[in-house]
Copies of this chain bind each other. A is one copy, B any other.
Amino acid sequence: MRPPPATPASRHRTASEQVGAALLDAAQAVLDREGLAAVSVRAVAIEAGVAPMGVYNRFQNKDGLLVALAVRAFDALHAAVDVEHSGEAPGDPLQRLRQSCRAYRTFALRHPEQYHLMFSGVSSLASPSPAAKHGTAVLQVLVDTIDSATRQGILHAAEPVEAAQMVWNAIHGAVTLELASLNVTLKRHGFEPADTYDKMLDVLIDGLRRP
């Protein structure tokens, strides 16, 4: 492996952290290029140009690799969805909710294999794995936004956690059916998935406005 460039960030990383990050980069490259089934200690070692023992030392086994990859993917999805902390978030919580949900879809369509890893029910990622906590943080963005809208009297979500779960169900269902190309009826009728997705958000928001 080449030494990383001496950017301010990398100067503060220990050598061990740099090795870990490089192996994770290699694992993500295998995942993005060849899919979940192709991720193995051997494939990641070849991709990173190290001996398999180097991967075992860092991640123990394939499950350890998958958990580390899922943590990174959940954190990336979280950063995408958390528009409130992106610096350009609108003050209106309903606009933030729409932006977060659109960012969710964009992330899933751009990173289908990472999305598949996070949500396909890989047993090593199930609660109480380290990855589950990072997944929960994504949902919490929706909870906080809906809670904020309810406090301002714009929505009437008696239970923001429950309302956020409903929104999550809808956006997760939309992107998984779209990724699996199972939205054929919609497309055959000439609808654009992105438009229908936006209208779905409007329907959910209208439904959550009612006392």
| A residues lining the B interface (CB < 8 Å) | 119-121, 126-127, 132, 135-136, 139-140, 143, 159, 161-163, 165-166, 168-174, 176-177, 179-186, 189, 191, 196, 199-200, 202-208, 210
Contacts and interface: CB of A to CB of B under 8 A. Distances in A.
A172 to B, nearest CB: 4
Given A161-B191, A180-B119, A180-B120, A169 B200 contact: yes
A118 to B, nearest CB: 9
A162 to B, nearest CB: 5
Nearest to A210: B206
Contacts of A186: 161-162, 165
A105 to B, nearest CB: 11
B203 A121 contact: no
B161 A168 contact: no
Given A196-B165, A203-B207, A207-B202, A127 B173 contact: no
A169 B168 contact: no
Nearest 6 pairs between A and B by C-beta? A173-B173, A207-B207, A121-B180, A203-B207, A169-B173, A172-B173
8 contacts: A121-B180, A121-B182, A127-B181, A161-B185, A165-B185, A169-B173, A169-B177, A203-B207
Given A159-B191, A166-B200, 5 more contacts: A120-B120, A159-B189, A162-B186, A169-B173, A172-B176
A8 to B, nearest CB: 36
A205 to B, nearest CB: 7
A200 B210 CA distance: 13
